[in-house]
Chain A
Amino acid sequence: MPELMQFLLSGATVGAVYALVALGFTIIYNASDIVNFAQGEFVMLGGMITVFAHMAGLPLPLAALLAIVVTAAIGVALNKLAIEPARGAPVVSLIIITIGASIFIRGAAQLVFDKQLHRFPAFSGDDPIAVLGATILPQSLWVIAGALAVFIGLWLFFTKTLTGLAVLATSNNRLAAQLVGINTSWVMTLSFALSAGIGALAGVLVTPITLTRYDVGIALALKGFAAAMLGGMGSPHGALVGGILLGLLEALTAGYISSQYKDAAAFIVILAVLFAMPQGIFGAKRTERV
């Protein structure tokens, strides 16, 4: 029993990270139908910038804040320099642009930073907390709390605010959105800034547990994508539930089958979702007008 409990706790931690990445996907997807594969790079940048700012002498909270702001600015630059000039291109082309951007950011990070693994101290120490015979790190609680906070924030944003409605309107019909007075290019800028900021926050929270390096982004982007697909692309509920489910599935696979197959879990999930229910658990069923 303590064994199962331990798997569940570590699964929830990993799942919260995937949920944060998946939540980052949600905003850009809702504004533009683009799946931003550079989302994992934002997580990497969040961790790496914090590490280097902290090493340069900045206190940790300040370094983390700096990392989030700088990453958000990089997100905006990605939109202005790579996505906006290609406006009017099919969504698939834009998605390929984000894959290119993620390779570029990874390469640049290798040059600007280095190729070593890094970490910074956990926020509330490293003493494990005992829960029902298993243990959980205080930092895991930070990660889970972070995922919940971002989820609640996004859910309120999309359901309670006119700006959230403007974001949804922009993806639904860009021309109509402009005609009702929505500045759609500002909506895109905002979406990339928010997505990148959320990605960076994930990096800040998780680095004390998983460590970070210039190339951690790609695996996170793929797992986060699997989580978002499982939950239903575009839905904050879906991102949270999909992320946690995927984390638990991975932890149980690693615990009861073999840790060799841990990564396979995510990809089997993508395939199963695409075959059985492409709209995911909470995804909107799309009907095309004929």
Chain B
Amino acid sequence: MSLLSVSGLGIEFGGVRAVHDVSFSADPGEIVSVIGPNGAGKTTLFNMISGVYLPGSGSITLAGEDVTGMSPHRLAERGLSRTFQNLQIFQQMTVLENVIAGHHLHERGSVFADMLHLPSSRRRSKAAEVGAMALLERLGLARAALQEAGSLSYGTLKRLEIARALALKPKVLLLDEPAAGCNAVETEEIDRLIAEVAAEGVAVLLVEHDMKLVMRISSHIVVLDHGEKIAEGDPAAVSRDPRVVEAYLGAHAKEAAHADG
């Protein structure tokens, strides 16, 4: 049985079918990429899986439990965390505090013990801080630890959001365009990081436009077009599928022709 499985998932916005009857599953250690042209419903699909939108139909199962329509904080408790295409960062907090907030679930103790600064709470807050710093090191953010998040560049914030998502020690990690807006070096770092995280046994769901990155690291690709799944399989099979070429690469070819014309 799969760690995460999505079955017949769909949602409508005012009669428009944004996502319709999408099913797929992900196992621990797998990298499943969701690709498709702009407006295909990739982010909407992520929003349903992470509890931001209530699905109109279908179901989501996480580690054998039906989690359809569960609120984001309860999904986080069950080991599902995500990042956003357009960043959801605690702008007025420091980089370190952002990541410590991600440790919230694992290091939470008695409020009174914390206020009285008891040894147990000192150990716990030390653990949260050490864990957070280790993650910042891993993402090359250690030097910015005490800076206010709002003052950092977009590429840095992208990595900060990944660090915070990892602080939850997730079983399933959803990354929505982690490499968007990053330069070639940063993209390569993110590439390596995703592979590392998956190798640790996390199921990674990835939405990404960088096809080279997707083809290189995915174990499995789901292709969406107009909200429906049109193809699924390993990278080689998907890239040969005529429907994919038509919907995805074809659209690019048309865009390219349009730009030339």
Binding site for B on A (CB under 8 A): 153, 156-157, 160-166, 168-169, 172-173, 175-184, 284, 286-287, 289
Which residues of chain B are near A163, meaning CB under 8 Å? Answer: 108, 111, 114
* Given A165-B100, A180-B167, A181-B73, A175 and B115 contact (CB-CB distance below 8 Å): no
The reply on B2 being an interface residue by CB < 8 A is no
Contact A166 B90 (CB under 8 A): no
Taking a contact as CB atoms closer than 8 A, the residue among B92, B104, B109, B150 that contacts A180 in the complex is: B104
In this complex, how many residues of chain B approach chain A with their Cβ under 8 Å: the count is 39
Restricting to B119-173, which residues have a CB under 8 Å from any CB of A? 121, 125, 128, 150-151, 164-165, 167-168
Interface check B196, CB cutoff 8 A: no
Interface membership of B38, Cβ < 8 A = no
Residues of A within 8 A of B104 (CB): 162, 165-166, 169, 180-182
CA A87 to CA B170, docked complex, whole Å: 29
Choose among B88, B121, B125, B151 the residue that contacts A173 (Cβ–Cβ < 8 A). B88
Contact A284–B73 (Cβ < 8 Å)? no
Contact of A286 among B77, B92, B165 (CB under 8 A): B92
With a cutoff of 8 Å between Cβ atoms, the chain A residues found around residue B108 in the complex are: 162-163
* A164–B165 CA distance with the chains assembled, in angstroms: 20
User: Contact: B114 with A181, CB < 8 Å?
Assistant: no
Q: Which residues of B contact A164 (CB under 8 A)?
A: 111, 114
Give Cα distance in the complex from A42 to B114, angstroms.
Answer: 27
Are B52 and A175 in contact, CB atoms less than 8 angstroms apart?
yes
Q: Tally inter-chain residue pairs, CB-CB below 8 A.
A: 98
- Complex partner residue of B88 from A157, A162, A168, A175, CB under 8 angstroms: A175
Give Cα A132–Cα B179 distance, bound, in whole angstroms: 69
CB distance from B131 to the nearest CB of A (A): 13
Max chain B Cβ within 10 angstroms of own Cβ: one of A168, A182, A286:
A182
Indicate if the CB atoms of B88 and A179 lie closer than 8 Å: yes
Note all chain B residues with C-beta closer than 8 A to A176. 88-90, 164
- Indicate whether A289 sits within 8 Å of B81 (C-beta atoms), given known contacts A157-B111, A172-B90, A183-B73: no
Are B91 and A179 in contact, with the CB atoms below 8 A?
no
B168 contact set on A, CB distance < 8 A: 180-181
**Once the chains are docked, how many angstroms separate the CA of A181 from the CA of B107?**
12
Given contacts A173-B88, A179-B76, A184-B73, 15 further A-B contacts (CB under 8 A): A156-B115, A157-B115, A160-B117, A160-B121, A163-B108, A165-B100, A169-B93, A175-B72, A176-B89, A179-B165, A180-B102, A181-B77, A181-B104, A182-B104, A183-B73
The docked-state distance in angstroms from the alpha carbon of A175 to that of B81 is: 12
- Report if B50 contacts A (CB, 8 A): yes
The answer on a CB contact under 8 Å between A287 and B101 is no
Check B76 against A178 for contact (C-beta < 8 Å): yes
Contacts of B51 in A (CB 8 A): 178
In the complex, A161 Cα to B72 Cα: how many Å? 22
Interface residues of B (CB under 8 A from A): 50-52, 71-73, 76-77, 81-82, 88-93, 97, 100-105, 107-109, 111, 114-115, 117, 121, 125, 128, 150-151, 164-165, 167-168
Task: Give the residues in chain A near B50, CB-CB below 8 Å.
Answer: 179
The smallest beta-carbon distance between A237 and chain B, in angstroms, is 17
Residues of A within 8 A of B150 (CB): 287, 289
Among residues of B, the one whose C-beta sits closest to the C-beta of A181 is B76
**Residues of the A chain whose Cβ atoms lie less than 8 Å from the Cβ of B77:** 181
Do A181 and B111 form a contact, CB below 8 Å, given A172-B93, A173-B90, A286-B92? Answer: no
Assembled-state Cα–Cα distance A177/B105 (Å) = 11
A268 to B156, CA, bound (A): 44
Bound-state CA distance A38–B165 (Å) is 37
Q: Which residues of B contact A162 (CB under 8 A)?
A: 100, 103-104, 107-109, 114, 125, 128
Contacts of B100 in A (CB 8 A): 162, 165
- A287–B152 alpha-carbon span in the complex (Å): 12
B111: contacting residue among A161, A169, A178, CB under 8 A: A161
Complex CA distance for A168 and B149, rounded to whole angstroms: 14
Min C-beta distance of A280 to chain B, whole Å: 15
Name the 10 nearest CB pairs between A and B, nearest first. A181-B76, A161-B114, A176-B88, A178-B72, A172-B90, A181-B105, A156-B115, A178-B73, A169-B101, A180-B102
Instruction: Please give me the residue from chain A that is nearest to B79 by CB atom.
Output: A181
Residues of chain B lying within 8 A (CB to CB) of residue A161: 111, 114-115
Assess A172 versus B73: contact at CB under 8 Å? Given A165-B97, A165-B104, A181-B104.
no
- Report chain B residues within 8 Å CB of A182: 73, 101, 104
| Pairwise interchain contact B111-A179, C-beta atoms closer than 8 A | no
Bound complex: CA A157 to CA B105 (Å): 17
* Complex-state Cα separation, A178 to B109, whole angstroms: 18
